[in-house]
Amino acid sequence: MENIAELQHVSKIFSGKKAVDDVSFVIPSGSVTAVLGPNGAGKTTVLSMMLGLREPSLGSVRIFGQSPKHAQVKRRIGAMLQEVSVIDGLKVHEVMSLIRSYYPSPIKLSEMVHLAGFKPEELNKRADKLSGGQKRRLGFALALAGNPDLLFFDEPTVGLDAPARKAFWQQADELADRGKTILFSTHYLQEAEDTADRILLFNKGKIAADGTPDEIVSKLTSRSVSFIADMTGEDSYAADEMVHRMRSVPGVRDCMEQEGRWVVTADNTDTVLAAIFRYNIPARDIRTGQGRLDDAFEIMVSADHDKEAVS
Amino acid sequence: MKMLLMQCRVEMLRIIRNPYYVFWSLLMPIVFYFIFTKIVNTGIDNVEAWQAHYLMSMTTFSVMGSAIMTVGIRMVQEQSLGWAVYMRITPLPGSIYFISKMFGQTVMHAFSVIVIFIAGFLINGVHMSIGQWIGSGLWILVASIPFLALGTLFGTMKRVDTASGVSNIAYMLMAVLGGMWMPIDSFPSVLQTIGKWLPSYNYGAGVWSIAAGNAPDLKPILILAGYLFLFMVLSMYIRKKQEAV
């Protein structure tokens, strides 16, 4: 499989501060990758270096094996930038024709109109008079004007309402089905989880995790077993003793009481269950659970805040 | 080539659709011309020469304005709206983008020149030889290049408000002190000395000579060339510095 993009030890330093810190990854052809992270994690900086808008301070960025500034690269990429940018003084269909004229083998104008979902009367509107949502749709059609192999969407759904957001991801899914390689940034965890086949989790300019949405979840979230323990009956167990025993089980991180239930967090829930039976813990209503990516994300970010507070 | 033509067409469309262009570059100079040659009695002896002279003043006033204002403010707008950034990720070479901007602007200037010349002919029956008309028009177009460069210099500013404020003030000061509104001879001598070194005065001086039946002097050509060099170097230097991010 051809590698569409390759970043090697890329850093970007803005006035002494590292916005991107030694980042390396490879984007294979046909993949849908989410660059996920909180604000200021370096997502947009990474994307703008891949688009040739910024020069990396260190390391190398190659798109289709070439510098992103190369004209041949620009003919094969399309992008929706974070800022909604619309040229003034031109009608919608004029903007579309203009951008089409830049590419050697553009898609048909009618196809662009279809992608943007514009009605005939909207085509004659001045582009700068469009609403925010309409500008986004125009931006989407413009990104596809050159029939690109690689698409960048920087925070594509910020400011969209729920139906518009859903419609956007449906279109993105269709593009992925047609074999386009897509890289998008988002801080909506749900979007990354639903649309991407790979997540690059950014935090403080570094890749904090890289994998499928499932892998990210299992890597970042601990699983848990919770149960109600009967501590008063005949063969009752002292709570202290139980906690002590559970904590000594390999892989168990914690054992504590929460709202009447005992919660054991561990890497592997099977060993916890085995331990419950081995030690004859009077447990009933046993449930196993797994944190969602949302939670994982929160944990990661807040863990980082804690570290900051200490240092 | 197809790209260049398309781009030029688009740039011209954008200028003509701009209501400020129509007002400042066409309507204002013609109204001024009408007022100062028809209504206000300037008490100048040679009325015909004055009418031709003032027609040139107003045409240079118009073209200088749209060169400074349209180019500069538009560039800041494109920068601040993110459109300029978007253009950098398309395969359109930056050089073609810039050339078509300047070319489109010059075509619009030619249009302004023709409209204002016709207005002068209709209002006062200004009489000049074909050679003088064409020579004046060419001077106004070619000698507007330093002002385009000044426009790109203002175009490096960050905010539209600042750019339009600064370029408005520069435009008006240069127009008045450069003798475009009233002949520089009527100024106090200090202002005359300053005025004669301004690009606006030298822009006018060349075409005033042509309208009076003489060839332009070498001095205004050299001074304008000097300003062109200065504005280009400054504008490129600032742009380089901004892009180094």
Q: Which residue in the set B10, B17, B83 is minimally distant from A86, CB to CB?
A: B83
| pLDDT for residue A287 | 87
Question: Which residues of chain B fall short of a pLDDT of 50?
Answer: none
Task: Judge: B91–A89 Cβ closer than 8 Å, yes or no.
Answer: no
List all residues of chain B from 164 to 183 with a beta carbon under 8 Å from chain A. none
Where along chain A do its domains lie? 3-212, 222-290
Interface test with A, best of B83, B86, B242 (most A CBs within 10 A): B86
Rounded to 5°, angle at Cα B32 from B26 and B37: 125
Angle between helices B160-177 and B145-154 (to 10 degrees): 150
Cβ-Cβ contacts under 8 Å, B10 against chain A: 90, 94, 98
> Which amino acid, residue B93?
P
Task: Judge: B89–A94 Cβ closer than 8 Å, yes or no.
Answer: no
- Which homologous superfamily does the CATH classification assign to the domain defined by A3-212? P-loop containing nucleotide triphosphate hydrolases (3.40.50.300)
Q: What is the mean pLDDT of chain B?
A: 90
Task: Judge: A89–B17 Cβ closer than 8 Å, yes or no.
Answer: yes
Distance CA A237, CA A55 (A): 64
DSSP state of B68: I
Distance CA A224, CA A288 (A): 6
Do residues A185 and A34 lie in contact, with contact meaning Cβ atoms separated by under 8 Å?
Answer: yes
Which chain B residue has the Cα nearest residue A104? Answer: B91
Dihedral sign computed on CA atoms, order A299, A300, A302, A308: positive
Q: Which residue in the set B6, B88, B245 is minimally distant from A101, CB to CB?
A: B6
DSSP state of B185: G
Cβ-Cβ contacts under 8 Å, A98 against chain B: 6-7, 10
Dihedral sign computed on CA atoms, order A291, A296, A297, A299: positive
Task: Judge: A89–B13 Cβ closer than 8 Å, yes or no.
Answer: yes
- State how far residue A83 is from chain B, nearest Cα, in angstroms: 6
Count how many domains chain B has: 1
| pLDDT for residue A307 | 44
Closest CA to A87 of B125, B185, B55, B7: B7
Task: Judge: A74–B17 Cβ closer than 8 Å, yes or no.
Answer: no
Q: What is the ipTM score, two decimals?
A: 0.80
- State how far residue A102 is from chain B, nearest Cα, in angstroms: 6
Return the residue matching tokens 């419950």: A276
Distance CA B178, CA B22 (A): 23
Distance CA B29, CA B33 (A): 6
Strand partners, A226: A263, A287
Residue B62 sits at φ, ψ, to 5 deg, of: -65, -50
Do residues A94 and B10 lie in contact, with contact meaning Cβ atoms separated by under 8 Å?
Answer: yes
| pLDDT for residue A311 | 36
Strand partners, A287: A226
Summarised one tens digit per residue, pLDDT across range A152-206 is 999 998 878 888 889 999 999 999 999 999 999 988 777 888 889 999 988 888 9
Summarised one tens digit per residue, pLDDT across range B163-189 is 989 999 999 999 999 999 888 888 899
Interface test with B, best of A67, A101, A125, A128 (most B CBs within 10 A): A101
Three-state secondary structure readout of chain A: CCEEEEEEEEEEEECCEEEEEEEEEEEECCCEEEEECCCCCCHHHHHHHHCCCCCCCEEEEEECCECCCCHHHHCCEEEECCCCCCCCCCEHHHHHHHHHCCCCCCCCHHHHHHHHCCCHHHHCCEHHHCCHHHHHHHHHHHHCCCCCCEEEEECCCCCCCHHHHHHHHHHHHHHHHCCCEEEEEECCHHHHHHHCCEEEEEECCEEEEEECHHHHHHHHCCEEEEEEECCCCCCCCCHHHHHHHHHCCCCEEEEEEECCEEEEEECCHHHHHHHHHHCCCCEEEEEEEECCHHHHHHHHHHHHHHHHHHC
Q: Is B83 on the interface with A (CB under 8 A)?
A: yes
Count of CB pairs separated by less than 8 Å, A with B:
64
CATH fold, domain A222-290, is Alpha-Beta Plaits (3.30.70)
Do residues B175 and B64 lie in contact, with contact meaning Cβ atoms separated by under 8 Å?
Answer: yes
DSSP state of B216: P
b/e map B22-56, b = 16+ CB within 10 Å: eebbbeebbebbbebbeeeeeeeeeeeebbbbbbb
Which chain A residue has the Cα nearest residue B97? Answer: A102
Task: Judge: A53–B85 Cβ closer than 8 Å, yes or no.
Answer: yes
| pLDDT for residue A308 | 41
Task: Judge: A51–B91 Cβ closer than 8 Å, yes or no.
Answer: no
List all residues of chain B from 100 to 139 with a beta carbon under 8 Å from chain A. none
Task: Judge: A85–B3 Cβ closer than 8 Å, yes or no.
Answer: no
Q: Is B6 on the interface with A (CB under 8 A)?
A: yes
Do residues B153 and B71 lie in contact, with contact meaning Cβ atoms separated by under 8 Å?
Answer: no
Q: Which residue in the set A71, A90, A142 is minimally distant from B14, CB to CB?
A: A90
Q: Is B80 on the interface with A (CB under 8 A)?
A: no
Q: What is the domain range of residue B25?
A: 2-243
Question: Which residues of chain A fall short of a pLDDT of 50?
Answer: 305-311
Q: To which H or E segment does residue B74 belong? A: helix B71-80
- State how far residue A90 is from chain B, nearest Cα, in angstroms: 6
Task: Judge: B85–A101 Cβ closer than 8 Å, yes or no.
Answer: no
| pLDDT for residue A294 | 59
